[in-house]
Amino acid sequence: MDNPINPKAAASPDTKAPIALGFAVVALWIAAVISALAVVYTTHNVRVSTNSLAQAKAESSELQLQWGQYLLERSTWASYSRIEKIAAGELEMALPEPEEIIVVQQ
């Protein structure tokens, strides 16, 4: 091939092309390794986060169960029949007669 602009270009081989190609291959290989490590790191983070989410859901379920039991216990302890029974039995209280009731007004 004759190069009309630079006649020496056809006669001498370009020695920069193999070096540039080598650098490109090394750069692409490093980029692929970095990308693979990023995938491994991200996958690990997702697994850790998924595990934390599962634990949080299990804890939430347990707390909701305890809350329901607490509400049931609270309603049992606050029932009128129980309070009236304790007031009459342990505290010896009784309902006042209508003539014993005094209405206070401001």
Report how far residue 85's alpha carbon sits from residue 94's, in angstroms, rounded to the nearest whole number.
10
Report how far residue 69's alpha carbon sits from residue 86's, in angstroms, rounded to the nearest whole number.
23
Report how far residue 93's alpha carbon sits from residue 74's, in angstroms, rounded to the nearest whole number.
23
SS3 90: coil
Q: Quick one: pLDDT at residue 11?
A: 47
Domain residue limits, the chain: 16-91
Instruction: Show the low-confidence residues of the chain (pLDDT under 50).
Output: 11
Q: Quick one: pLDDT at residue 7?
A: 53
Q: What is the pLDDT of residues 72-85, one digit of tens each?
A: 999 988 888 888 88
Instruction: Output the CA angle 80-63-75, nearest 5 degrees.
Output: 5
Q: Model pTM? A: 0.52
